[in-house]
Structure 1
């Protein structure tokens, strides 16, 4: 009897060992976790203002939904937000942006902060120094810009810090004008960059130029002494040409020359040439379009998919931001101070989500 149990136990142990061994060898290997690094961003800077006027947005199922939820579910991983120093209008100020940035982080997305270093719109044609800084010497202006930068890092803690907006000719004019005061312009940008790198090493630094081609090449050559991570380009066919081939060539050249990641920091396209309020639209003519992409919901989607695919085919392409994502006609059909961009938003005239939302898919 004792021998029987001993034999049975031995056979059982062998069977158990073989079974476990078989399980271990046949178990499928764990798939590696691929980090989602390609930036799929939406500029939503107008959202706090539009929400304050009780605007309702609908998702693809025509159900009311928080826009950040809609974007996150679509695959958007970053929200771009504009920041003005002391705006005279009730938007894009420090407290509003800080609160909005917290919402974005709570929604599970990164914050890309566009710091204009101005009280109002900064772009290639205007880089107006904040009123509070206009009487300062250059040395004091640089100090104030660094202090302001530090407070942004402490209070808002962006993942991406864009130094200025479309700074083709520098920022904080006239002191920081890149053509008229090149040395001072580079000193300002370098001081801001150094502060970001020292105080918040994990924060990515972007420089932003509006356009492609030789102008972009000239600008980023000038920036060769600056410590930064991302090259940002604005690309709108109406202003920067209709050649996606030239856009791709520019991205490849800049990425290779400067060993940087390149993003299309701003782009957009219309889903119609019609209008939904009495605020003059920026786009409304057929000759403003790329012929291959008509102003239809599908045309808008296909343009954005072409942009995304183009970026992924280049050596430096690292992501994009859709501009004016949320800027629909929110003040009624007869408003003259509504939106000049409602035919380029990603929600239609009925506030329903458009097919171009597919560009945010992770693929």
Structure 2
């Protein structure tokens, strides 16, 4: 993964979509969504893993099954440790239930042991990841309250808070290095359009001596601003840290027409660039422009992207995570499971 362009997809919901009856079609044939993605030029898959999630999807057992499928199709694997039983993001970074009473060294040891165990199981199954995220969108830390470094509107985190977060990061990173030195390590924050916030976070990682390989960013234009902001951020990060960069979450709408009974998180074009309408063609044009921004990162440090949940079609209303499908106009398949033109953008 170090030199080749990564055209990746996060399909963490795919297992549940398939079990719920969702189907995908290539031309006139029904088929495996992973195979359709691969034939569309996708060369890497991202899977999130939760410690003990409701409904069991995205746990270790189900992740192993999906990881084996990914490897069998010749694609690479990015494993996204949330270190939680549910969503981890800038507003939610809660400990797994089994770790509720753990603190300090005991919590660090739990992170190490769990990370090592997961990777050992995947390696034994012939599905060792090529890259691993230590936490998901850890802009304000992880494993709250122990590893919390602030939140929107909070004062600057104290040194002690940073030390606790970095102890947890080092535990997870140590487990990856002890498993296999070839597995690359990513740190992921959500600040794709925020150069100042990104530099502040990664400056602290440098100061604390965190051993990682790749910077990961989330970038959604309706939340993170225009492509020009992403470009500036990538340029400044590449110049300062000399590490590879991946936009590890992104998406763009192809319609504002919802299937009856399914809400939409992006309902109109108020926060979207006018040059790219919410049509299949507009989505494809946007994805080309977006990919070109990453490719223009100095010194070839922009090495690819992962599209978030391109397969989350409106096939079912009830989900194990208790989360409505509000993503059905941000997929790379239409409501009937047929691929959209944006899938084929290199």
- TM normalised by structure 2 equals 0.90
Per the alignment, in what secondary structure is the counterpart of residue 149 of structure 1? helix
Is the aligned partner of 1:43 residue 2:26? no
- TM normalised by structure 1 equals 0.86
The runs of 4+ residues in structure 1 deviating greater than 6 Å are none
Counterparts of 1:144-293 in structure 2, within 5 Å, are 144-156=110-122, 157-178=128-149, 179=157, 181-211=161-191, 212-224=194-206, 225-241=209-225, 243-293=226-276
**Alpha carbons 2:90, 2:138 under 8 Å: kept:** yes
Which deviates more from structure 2 when the two are superposed, residues 276-285 or residues 292-301?
276-285
- For 1:304 and 1:350, the matched residues in 2 are separated by 21
1:314-352 Cα distance to aligned partner (Å, 9 max, x none): 12201100001110101279xx96520000111102221
**Alpha carbons 1:348, 1:354 under 8 Å: kept:** yes
**Alpha carbons 1:277, 1:339 under 8 Å: kept:** no
Q: Tell me what 1:13 maps to.
A: none
Offset at residue 217 of structure 1 (A) = 1.2
Is the aligned partner of 1:350 residue 2:332? no
- For 2:41 and 2:269, the matched residues in 1 are separated by 31
- For 1:98 and 1:261, the matched residues in 2 are separated by 27
* RMSD across aligned positions (CA): 1.7
- For 1:252 and 1:323, the matched residues in 2 are separated by 23
**Alpha carbons 2:195, 2:236 under 8 Å: kept:** no
More contact order relative to length (CA 8 Å, sep ≥ 6): 2
Q: Tell me what 2:125 maps to.
A: none
Q: Tell me what 1:302 maps to.
A: 285
**Alpha carbons 1:325, 1:344 under 8 Å: kept:** yes
Offset at residue 128 of structure 1 (A) = 0.2
Q: Tell me what 1:28 maps to.
A: none
**Alpha carbons 1:231, 1:261 under 8 Å: kept:** yes
- For 2:234 and 2:17, the matched residues in 1 are separated by 34
Per the alignment, in what secondary structure is the counterpart of residue 58 of structure 1? strand
- For 1:244 and 1:329, the matched residues in 2 are separated by 29
1:104-123 Cα distance to aligned partner (Å, 9 max, x none): 00011011111100000000
Per the alignment, in what secondary structure is the counterpart of residue 187 of structure 1? helix
**Alpha carbons 1:235, 1:264 under 8 Å: kept:** yes
Please list every run of 5 or more consecutive structure 2 residues that lacks an aligned counterpart in the other structure.
123-127, 150-156
**Alpha carbons 1:235, 1:267 under 8 Å: kept:** yes
1:231-268 Cα distance to aligned partner (Å, 9 max, x none): 00000011111x21111111111112111000000000
Q: Which has the larger radius of gyration?
A: 1
Q: Tell me what 1:63 maps to.
A: 29
Q: Tell me what 2:304 maps to.
A: 319
Is the aligned partner of 1:52 residue 2:19? yes
**Alpha carbons 2:264, 2:326 under 8 Å: kept:** yes
- For 2:185 and 2:28, the matched residues in 1 are separated by 38
**Alpha carbons 2:262, 2:317 under 8 Å: kept:** no
